[in-house]
């Protein structure tokens, strides 16, 4: 237990120096994305920065994956924007939406903590790769579409010189982020691009919208720097308000857990180690609860920043703690500089996030994977864009499961033979479950079979209640025709499942007189008759 709370992980190449340096690098990279995702969510940049700080600090201390970075993310921001806008209307003010957001984060955090306590983190393994690809593709499209709104001024699309200035600065930002890593990887490309573009706008006297002008235009007073303060969010206590926030809380909780556990699995592969998914669920929930009470936008694990941290040498909890504390320093002492950042620079960063998020390998595998997987990728991508991640992932898992069930339903086989004693043998291959019972029943010829029939399940398994009922009914059909049916090679768990079949037994006297599989109820019935 104590080992899990170690700040520095020296067993996997970590050190105090590497953790601190990688943490500082991550902190610099967190600033632009936290501000940009706050704009996506339709809230003040300081709320995004507070959210990134608190999520990063809490999950670094209590999370189940040392070295993983959490903060404000696009997946949750695209849901928050609808929550905030609808909350403003429901509450009747421009600040009501933010209060609804904080209350929703507290409820979502409680759901996530419950998921960790109930040990539900393991179920992320049930998400197929095709669903994950659809998710990242849909997320990339949603982030891209959300950035198009930045090309408007007071609801009107930019045109002429302002549009060309905006486009030029966006392309310059993206160009720096693409080209700088070829020169050096010691400085964050995103931060460098933002600094260069900001200096160009300030000293070149270019007319373009900045973070401050954007915040003011949307009713804010700029970024007010300071320590996050405790405040109980307030909304009117009513059934309507609860029914309004409950779906959003469930969606945000699901999105946060799915993205965090997916990131945890990725970091496990990169570091050849193993994190605790259940502990991470609880830590994510605690982080969102704290955000709800201290005015942050919440969030979850960040794939990009986590990879930056690992590749920069960060392995222990100290790296994430350093990143969070350094980010707080930027908030306290650098707010006035953040306000001067051009919106175009943030849009450029987000466009690069889109490019890095989209699974371009989708096009390479188009004709190389089963059609069902392609359909799932398209379905999840579309639902992510039209609705949200939680609905998309759920639909993708359901469709994938149905396809799997259908394919396995067609694999049930029966080899038939009659031995020298006139006993007919059915050797079953493949799983017997709800999807395969119809094909299973078609293998038997009750009317024309001899009086003794043996069904061998050596290469098969009875999986569910539908299969049990199927075997029961098949047995009844043979008994009504005055014929004896015997089941062989049932595994112990299959025997337990099939205990409801009172008259089913296996009498394997022809080939293996020492092998018996019988139902307890049948034996008790025999004893009573005796």
Count: domains in the chain: 2
Residues 26 and 69 in one domain: yes
Residue 337: inside a domain, yes or no?
A: yes
Query: Rounded to the nearest 5°, which phi and psi values hold at 486?
Result: -125, 140
pTM over 0.75: no
pLDDT tens digits for range 284-294 = 999 999 999 99
Query: Does 380 lie in the same domain as 285?
Result: yes
424-432/413-418 β-pairing: antiparallel
pLDDT of residue 428: 92
Terminal alpha carbon distance of the chain: 59
Rounded to whole angstroms, the Cα distance separating 384 from 265 reads: 22
In a domain, 346, yes or no: no
**188 inside domain:** no
Q: With beta carbons less than 8 A apart as the criterion, state whether 390 and 258 touch.
A: yes
Q: Do 458 and 322 share a structural domain?
A: no
477 plus 518 within the same structural domain: yes
Is 47 inside a domain boundary? yes
Domain region containing 240? 12-157+222-341+368-396
**Domain-embedded: residue 198:** no
Q: How far apart are CA 48 and CA 54, in angstroms?
A: 10
Quick check: helix, strand or coil at residue 279? helix
Q: Judge if 392 and 419 occupy the same domain.
A: no
Secondary structure in 3-state letters for 459-510? EEEECCHHHHHHHHHHHHHHHHCCCEEEEECCCHHHHHHHHHCCCCEEECCC
Q: What CATH number does residue 490 fall under?
A: 3.30.750.24
Q: Dihedral through CA 381, CA 385, CA 391, CA 396, nearest 10?
A: -10
CB-based contact 115:279 (threshold 8 Å): no
Does a structural domain hold residue 332?
Answer: yes
Matching residue, tokens 């019972």: 437
On whether both 282 and 428 belong to a single domain, the answer is no
| CB 397, CB 131: distance < 8 Å | yes
Instruction: Give the length of the chain.
Output: 530
Give pLDDT, residue 514: 37
Residues of the chain with pLDDT under 50: 1-4, 500-530
For 233, the token pair is 């969010």
Indicate whether 521 and 375 sit together in one domain.
Answer: no
Alpha-carbon torsion angle 377, 381, 387, 392, nearest 10: 30
Question: Based on the domain organization, do 389 and 420 belong to the same domain?
Answer: no
Q: Which of 474, 478, 479 is nearest to 457 (CA)?
A: 474
466 and 503 belong to one structural domain:
yes
Q: Do 121 and 30 have their domain in common?
A: yes
pLDDT digits (tens, 9 = 90+) for 217-249: 765 666 767 889 999 998 888 999 999 999 999
Burial 496-519 (b: 16+ CB within 10 A, else e): ebbeebeebbbbbeeeeeeeebeb
Quote the CA–CA distance of 490 and 139 in Å, as a whole number. Answer: 47
The residue whose two tokens read 């067609």 is 410
| Domain contains 209 | no
Residue 142, number of CB atoms within 10 A of its CB: 24
Residues 324 and 459 in one domain: no
In the prediction, which pLDDT does 220 show? Answer: 61
pLDDT value of position 450 = 93
Q: What are phi and psi for residue 229, nearest 5 degrees?
A: -115, 145
76 in the same domain as 138: yes
């Amino acid at each position: 237990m104590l080992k899990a709370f170690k700040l520095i992980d020296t067993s996997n190449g970590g050190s105090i120096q590497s953790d601190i340096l990688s943490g500082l690098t991550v902190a610099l990279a967190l600033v632009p994305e936290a501000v940009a995702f706050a704009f996506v969510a339709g809230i003040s940049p300081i709320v995004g920065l507070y959210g990134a700080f608190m999520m990063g600090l809490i999950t670094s201390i209590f999370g189940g994956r040392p070295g993983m970075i959490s903060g404000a993310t696009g997946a949750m921001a695209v849901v928050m924007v609808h929550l905030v806008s609808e909350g403003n209307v429901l509450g009747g003010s421009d600040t009501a939406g933010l209060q609804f957001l904080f209350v929703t984060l507290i409820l979502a955090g409680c759901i996530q903590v419950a998921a960790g306590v109930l040990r539900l983190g393991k179920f992320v393994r049930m998400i197929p790769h095709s669903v994950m690809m659809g998710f990242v593709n849909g997320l990339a499209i949603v982030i891209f579409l959300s950035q198009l709104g930045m090309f408007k001024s007071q609801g009107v699309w930019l045109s002429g010189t302002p549009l060309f200035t905006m486009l030029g600065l966006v392309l310059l930002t993206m160009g720096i982020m693409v080209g700088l890593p070829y020169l050096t990887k010691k400085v964050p490309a995103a931060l460098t691009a933002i600094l260069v573009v900001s200096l160009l706008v300030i000293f070149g006297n270019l007319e373009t919208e900045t973070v401050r002008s954007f915040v003011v235009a949307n009713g804010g007073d700029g970024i007010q720097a300071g320590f996050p303060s405790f405040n109980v969010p307030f909304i009117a206590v009513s059934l309507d308000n609860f029914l309004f926030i409950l779906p959003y809380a469930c969606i945000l909780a699901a999105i946060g857990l799915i993205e965090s556990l997916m990131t945890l699995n990725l970091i496990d592969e990169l570091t050849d180690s193993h994190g605790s998914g259940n502990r991470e669920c609880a830590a994510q929930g605690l982080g969102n609860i704290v955000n709800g009470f201290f005015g942050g936008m919440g969030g979850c694990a960040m794939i990009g920043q986590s990879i930056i941290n690992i590749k920069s040498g960060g392995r222990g909890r100290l790296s994430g703690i350093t990143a969070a504390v350094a980010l707080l320093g930027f908030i306290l002492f650098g707010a006035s500089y953040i306000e001067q950042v051009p919106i175009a620079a943030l849009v450029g960063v987000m466009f690069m996030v889109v490019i890095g998020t989209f699974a371009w390998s989708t096009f390479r595998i188009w004709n190389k994977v089963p059609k069902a997987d392609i359909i799932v990728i398209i379905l999840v991508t579309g639902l992510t864009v039209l609705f949200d991640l939680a609905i998309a992932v759920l639909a993708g898992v359901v469709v994938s499961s149905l396809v799997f069930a259908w394919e396995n339903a067609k694999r049930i086989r029966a080899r038939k033979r009659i031995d020298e004693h006139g006993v007919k043998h059915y050797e079953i291959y493949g799983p017997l479950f709800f999807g395969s019972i119809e094909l299973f029943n078609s293998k038997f010829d009750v009317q024309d079979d001899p009086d003794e029939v043996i069904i061998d399940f050596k290469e098969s398994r009875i999986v569910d209640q539908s299969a049990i009922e199927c075997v029961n009914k098949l047995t009844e059909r043979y008994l009504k025709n005055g014929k004896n049916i015997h089941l062989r090679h049932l595994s112990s768990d299959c025997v337990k499942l099939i205990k409801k079949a009172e008259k089913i037994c296996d009498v394997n006297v022809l080939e293996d007189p020492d092998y018996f599989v019988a139902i307890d109820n049948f034996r008790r019935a025999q004893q009573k008759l005796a």
